[in-house]
Structure 1
Amino acid sequence: MADLSTSSGYLMGNLYSMLVPVLLAAIGIAAVSTSISGDEHDGRLEMLFAFAISRPTILLGRLSAAVLSVALSALAVLASVVLGRLFFELDVSWDGLVAITLVMVLFAVFHLCLAYVLAACGTSSAVSFAVPFAVLVGGYVLRSLVPLIDGAQDLANFSPWEWALAEDPLGGDVSAWRLGLLVLLSAAAVVAGTLVAKERDIHAP
């Protein structure tokens, strides 16, 4: 539990333990779901695929745009915290701010990559949004509430929230292998989704 009497504890408790991760992940999931699933079922992707541009190029371009939107949103949060650090004398190190921003981006990218593999497989925008968001919420429950049950504490280790926040990123302490797991699973989802999208038929409206 974060010590709200300290600057880092206040920021973790009010921003980085729930609000920012949910916000960034939702932005990324929505961007992927809309730009890939939504455009496919509305017929816009079919028109793009008719040009001499490969499917992976188009899909990965849209994935990159979603990642960029998450990164810019994370930088906006960072800028607001930096202003607070300057004007309200928040005692938080630069290393910690950079670390927590990187962790938040990787966490959100993991969930948007789940949306990508579903969208690339041809699911509807409702499915490619709802499933990753359910993983997001379920992971939070798994880390925050399930361990309150006797004997269930170890289940938190299966939560992406635990992988991202197990240590103290705002204090500059991150778990390299846990973040590596987020990156590895994100990359696997992108590769799988791209390979499936290359071979399958495109939905026509």
Structure 2
Amino acid sequence: MVANTRPQFTAFIGPQRLASGPLAEVAIAVMNASRNAAAPPIIIFADATGQPIDLDLRGTERDVIARLPQPAPDLEAATEEASAEPRGRGRPKLGVVAREVTLLPRHWEWLGAQPGGASVALRKLVDEARRANGDTDRARAARDAAYRFMSVMTGNLAGFEEASRALFADDRRRFVGLIAGWPDDIRDHIVKLAFSDRAEP
């Protein structure tokens, strides 16, 4: 079963969650809410990174959707597709990019002796490292996303510094206790960003 990897976004109007989901849906919700001149500030966040994003919401709904940034292609799906096709020169469908790598001579010698050459060996090493460290990398990315969101939305709230320390110490119980008094929607979103892909302690 393939997991849904479509990027998700969340908009906050003041301390309240306005909308959450694909960027087009969130953008339209923000566009409609921002028509009220008395509305509090609205911020849209990318859930994967916790970073706020700016959108051009002028014009009609169609105009807004047409200007939205397009998500990057799913390279893993492209890899599976390309593996079923005869291999030609290069791998343009996979988005292969040539970049400089600096290694010692003994590293180049070892890589050059591997089946398929240096590029194939490096890709295999990176894929193995991603598999071996996947859980750790996901936990770190989730923590970083939660912290970025917290910094924007709760940097002035009581307990922010202590909560940040508990988050980076991966002390979930203490962290959740420290943010318990924060506005409900903000608190719930922080917990979702930081821990939704991990089991309950």
Q: Is the TM-score greater than 0.5?
A: no
Of structures 1 and 2, the larger Rg is shown by 2
With normalisation by structure 2, the TM-score equals 0.28
User: Which structure shows the higher strand fraction?
Assistant: 2
TM-score, normalised to structure 1's length? 0.28
More helix by share: 1
The answer to which structure, 1 or 2, has the higher relative contact order (CA under 8 A, 6+ apart) is 1
